[in-house]
Amino acid sequence: MKLLIVESPAKAKTIAKYLNDIPNQTENFVVTSSIGHIRDLPKNNKKAIDIEGGFIPYYEISKGKEKVINDIKSKAKKASEVLLATDPDREGEAIAWHLKEVINLKNPKRIVFNEITKDAVQEAIKHPRKIDDKLREAQEARRVLDRLVGYDLSGLIWKKVRYGLSAGRVQSPALRIIMEREREIRNFKPENFWMIIADVKNKNDLQFTLTCSKEPREEKETQRIINIGKSRKWSVINIKENEMKRAPRAPFITSTLQQTASARLGFAPYKTMSVAQKLYEAGHITYMRTDSVIMSKQALGQIAKVINDKYGKEYYQPRVFAKKSKLAQEAHEAIRPSNILKEYAGANEEQEKLYHLIWQRAVGSRMADAKLLKMKMTANVDGEEKIPDFTVNGSRTLFDGWLKADPIARGEDVELPEASIGETLKLAEIRSEAKQTQPPFRYTEAGLIKELEKRGIGRPSTYASIVRTLAVRNYVEKKGKTLFPTDTGDVVSSFLEDNFEKYISDSFTAEMENELDEIANGKREYVKTLSDFYKPFTKNVNSKKDIEKITNLGNAPEEYKCPKCGARMIIKLGKSGKFLSCSLFPNCNGGRMIDGKELEGPKETGENCPKCKNGKLVERDGKFGRFISCNNYPKCK
């Protein structure tokens, strides 16, 4: 018997279907699953890493995994050969190594595949290799680095800001990016401008709308343009047509899949990865954590067949896309359907939608450019006193090309009314609309991932978890699709920017990511990389131990006085965000909400807690107003 170990029961079930008819096979395969990681660093324990001994991590068996390990050990003893078929990335390599160490496998074979298909699995079994220690070291370096940074920074924040807060090597730069945008918005000063619109009719009495090419900042200038427009004759002074091509986009990588699924399907990044994981484990798509845009020759052959059969030969155009990252792992493929001949797949509606999106992008990437005709009509008035030109734009699709496979990306054609240069236009109405310049947009989850990728922060396997961590830590709130920093996030980011600017900068974080990649490629040493980082970092942390604790975030507005003693109030940070506290605290415990409303304090309702049975229900103040909880809160929630 041969034993093949993967990390997911669903993946094991799919693979098992492909192992019964391998040519020249003399033994049966048994497929089992580790159900994820089997061991990890102890939680919240810096001593789990021997820094002086060379940053050696000491792992412990994950909770609830003893039974799984014993089951795998039992099967491994009966096996003539053990194959480790965990995912084809650093995380998968680490799981394979942990299985080898914990089960005490003497000579396990490592096999990898980017898609769970019969051909891919059987081909991988023919070409086993050893565990890639460099790839595993890169994952271990990331894990150790994140633990050391998180432990040291979080410990300092607990003492200097508030207990229970956290910081992280990648999480904190992401929070800084959000806060930088928030400060831009706060400091933004809107300016007034006027949009001027003219409704005109051509010789066939067909009405259309022209827009002034300049937007005046002064109402006086706006009125001058309107008055001249009303009193003069209008005519077409130019019609410009320009044929242009619109090329398809590359097949999906992790970041672009998350961004497009957010825009098209409304999926949060974490949900996109969860749905994609199920599609991968069922054998429908290739591995979904990748930064490579290449596709296999077999896949490209299938794409060519689909395009020729479904759309016609004129729609097919071979092309090569430049890789987005110089460190993109070329052994991986882009995210694509395992069988491109299948346009639809998935066990439910969410899977079907995401699969079809992946199919559209993969097929469209090898289709011909779309050809568009862009049109622009320009009009103005006669007379010596001139006003800015008024224009209207249009477009027409001459050849849809790749848009045939992805019609949502097409948009609508806007045809210009028939007219000729010099033709007189009849003014129906000219009017203005008062507008204001708008501040920059806050980030969405997809927008933040795009920004992180652009700045070189994070990797395909970490994008979704970075965003999720910020929300779990209560550093950001999601309203609709938009991320808003919380008061807590604001204070923590400001503290880190003031004291650890270098370590949460774009350049430093991106360079650290590159160094971790170089460990995987064998270009850097594990110990030297961690040592070069940690020695100056820990020195910096120790130098901040004597700074004053942040207890006062500034004075409250003068109109808000302490409701108990009438003294001035100051802004503080509590568990639910900022609030106003009496400046004489602890001698006076008067307080208000951040908006000035008086804190009423807990009030008993007279009812017993239905959860713990021992406590009493009380009404108390919270971030979103009054709420009812047990008087044993937070022990009882």
Residue-wise pLDDT for 463-509, tens only, equals: 999 999 999 999 999 999 999 999 899 999 999 999 999 999 999 99
Helices marked H in 282-425 — which ranges? 297-310, 349-364
Outline which parts of the chain fall under CATH 2.70.20.10: 192-247+370-436
Outline which parts of the chain fall under CATH 1.10.460.10: 143-187+441-543
% of residues, the chain, pLDDT over 90: 78
- Over the stretch 141-179, which tens digit does the pLDDT of each residue have? 999 999 999 999 999 999 998 888 899 999 999 999 999
- Over the stretch 339-350, which tens digit does the pLDDT of each residue have? 999 999 999 999
Let me know if domain 143-187+441-543 sits in CATH 3.30.70.20: no
- Over the stretch 238-296, which tens digit does the pLDDT of each residue have? 999 999 999 999 999 999 999 999 999 999 999 999 999 999 999 999 999 999 999 99
Mean pLDDT score of the chain: 92
**pTM, two decimal places:** 0.85
Q: How confident is the model at residue 330 (pLDDT cuts 50, 70, 90)?
A: very low
What was the pLDDT predicted at 552?
79
What was the pLDDT predicted at 205?
93
Domain 192-247+370-436 belongs to what topology? Answer: Topoisomerase I; domain 3 (2.70.20)
CA distance 442 to 260: 18
Q: At what angle do helices 349-364 and 297-310 cross, to 10 degrees?
A: 90
CB 122 within 8 A of CB 145: no
Give Cα separations from 582 to 177, 250, 491, 551, 589 (angstroms). Answer: 33, 58, 20, 12, 6
**Bridge partners of residue 240, in order along the sequence:** 376
Q: How far is CA 622 from the centre of its chain?
A: 30
- The total of other beta-carbon atoms located within 10 Å of residue 547's CB is 13
Outline which parts of the chain fall under CATH 1.10.290.10: 254-364
Which residues carry out catalysis?
A: 287
Question: Helix, strand, or coil here: 325?
Answer: coil
CA distance 586 to 99: 55
Domain 2-131 belongs to what topology? Answer: Rossmann fold (3.40.50)
CB 615 within 8 A of CB 632: yes
Q: Where are the beta strands (DSSP E) in 62-171?
A: 81-84, 109-110
Give Cα separations from 5 to 72, 93, 136, 153, 235 (angstroms). Answer: 8, 12, 17, 38, 76
What was the pLDDT predicted at 328?
45
Q: What number does CATH give the domain 254-364?
A: 1.10.290.10
CA dihedral over 277, 281, 283, 286, signed as positive or negative: positive
Question: Helix, strand, or coil here: 120?
Answer: helix
Outline which parts of the chain fall under CATH 3.40.50.140: 2-131
Q: How confident is the model at residue 626 (pLDDT cuts 50, 70, 90)?
A: low
Q: Is the peptide bond before 563 cis (omega within 30 degrees of 0)?
A: no
